[in-house]
Amino acid sequence: MRKNFLKFSVKDSLFTGLIALALFGPIVGLRTVAKNEILIVQPKWLIVILIVAVCAIGRFLINLYVFKRDQKLGNQSTIGKSIGNFLDTKGTQIAISAIIFSVIFPFLPFTDRYLMDIAIMMLTYIMLGWGLNIVIGLAGLLDLGYVAFYAVGAYSYALFAIHFGWSFWICLPLAGIFAAMFGVLLGFPVLRLRGDYLAIVTLAFGEMIRILLLNWYELTKGPDGLTGIPRPSFFGLPFKSFPDEGEQTFHTFFGLEYNPMQRIIFLYYLILVLALITNLFTIKIRKLPIGRAWEALREDEIACKSLGVNPRNTKLTAFAIGAMFGGFAGSFFATRQAFISPESFTFIESAIIVAIVVLGGMGSQTGVVLSTVFLIGLIEVFRDFESYRMIAFGGAMVLIMIFRPRGILATRKPTIILNNKD
């Protein structure tokens, strides 16, 4: 058995090397350079050999130490198992300590402007992940165009705030309602679609919204983007260093020195509260009939129909509520940036949010947090090595898929496990 396995591993890794060669050979190996006004091909075989070797050896090691095909089915590798056990048993404690940590985070001694910005960005993604988790994790509808609702939220917030001068607290729910309406709009044509087909249509929807924003110049200023989006105020008290005559601002009202960090900290708590509301909402709605119907729909649509669950309404509410939270996050994004353009809402954003949900373990709320910290944190850490960022991102996904194939925190496990009797 062992010997066969070794043979299999060698074969497998050679095959992997072959695929890597076929892929990277032309893409990386053949490079065109302009010389004497003509393009000539300049091969770079050394780097190709390096990549192929990394792929083959990596595959060999994974085979040997992780997959261990001669093991009994269901036995995980030891590393995966220990991480898994830790996360499974300590899930609640992790969640509580994470909340406490995030509440005191702005006042920790090492916290600076840079870390705050990253934290705000992470929380935005966590909120998006939680919102999308309703659609993907609970209702089981693979939505690859979630960024569309983020964009709709951001643009409707910006347009309301710029043109009507309404405050953040009026525009926020409006943007959410607007995004929810777009959710229903997307929901109707995809009601009959499932799986891959649904994914493709939602992906197209995301692109349509982006292209619409790019071309509807009169409304959205197209590629120029919208500028001068009002900043949120602290219950009517703006954050300004030099208040107008007779105007109360945050720092004058509380008798503080003006400090630009005050606004950042306020934004931080704002997104923290918004994200926690999203989380609380999801936890609560899971126990209500509509939440149960979502999960049932994910399990078996025909059984749902035969029980009198209306699949149309159930799917539409899932799309609408998921979209609404995307819209809230979009509003926050707009008010934080004070500038938005269609560039912020490309497919890669959707892909990152889907990756966060899937890698976190579909349906797991804590999993979304962990995978956000992991993925977004990783992207940030590699900010200085610009060209390696995407490699690190891809590598992280591969690692998670190897060690935790059902996501960092898999909720899809039986509640009782029978012990093997051998």
Partner 1 sequence: MLKISNIETFYGNIQALRGVNVKVENGEIVALIGSNGAGKSTLLMTVSGVNKASAGEIVFNDKNIESLLPHDIVNLGISQVPEGRRIFSRLTVEDNLRLGASSNDKGIHYSKDIKDIYDLFPILKDRLGQRGGTLSGGEQQMLAIGRALMARPKMLLLDEPSLGIAPKLVNQIFVAIKNINKEKKVTIFLVEQNAKKALELADRGYVLVNGSVTLEGSGQELLKNEDIQAAYLEGGGKK
Site of interaction with partner 1 (CB under 8 A): 289, 292-293, 295-296, 299-300, 302-310, 412, 414-416
3-state helix, strand, coil in the chain (%, to 5): 75, 5, 25
Beta carbon of residue 91, minimum distance to partner 1 (angstroms, whole number): 17
Beta carbon of residue 416, minimum distance to partner 1 (angstroms, whole number): 6
Which CB sits closer to partner 1, 295 or 380? Answer: 295
Which CB sits closer to partner 1, 342 or 360? Answer: 360
162 CB burial (10 A radius; 0-12, 13-18, 19+): middle
Beta carbon of residue 283, minimum distance to partner 1 (angstroms, whole number): 15
Which CB sits closer to partner 1, 109 or 414? Answer: 414
User: Distance between CA 237 and CA 361 in Å, rounded?
Assistant: 41
Query: Which of 314, 294, 277 minimizes the C-alpha distance to 363?
Result: 294
Q: What are residue 39's DSSP bridge partners? A: 34
Which CB sits closer to partner 1, 301 or 380? Answer: 301
What's the longest Cα–Cα distance across the chain?
A: 84
Beta carbon of residue 192, minimum distance to partner 1 (angstroms, whole number): 13
Beta carbon of residue 290, minimum distance to partner 1 (angstroms, whole number): 9
Beta carbon of residue 137, minimum distance to partner 1 (angstroms, whole number): 12
Which CB sits closer to partner 1, 73 or 416? Answer: 416
Query: Which of 262, 268, 257 minimizes the C-alpha distance to 238?
Result: 262
Beta carbon of residue 411, minimum distance to partner 1 (angstroms, whole number): 8
Which CB sits closer to partner 1, 31 or 305? Answer: 305
DSSP string, 66-129: II-TTSPTTPPPHHHHHHHHHHHHSHHHHHHHHHHHHHHGGGSTT--HHHHHHHHHHHHHHHHH
State how beta strands 339-340 and 226-227 pair: antiparallel
The per-residue b/e assignment along 82-110, b for 16 or more CB within 10 angstroms, e otherwise, is: eebeebeeebeebeeeeeeebeebbeeee
Which CB sits closer to partner 1, 300 or 343? Answer: 300
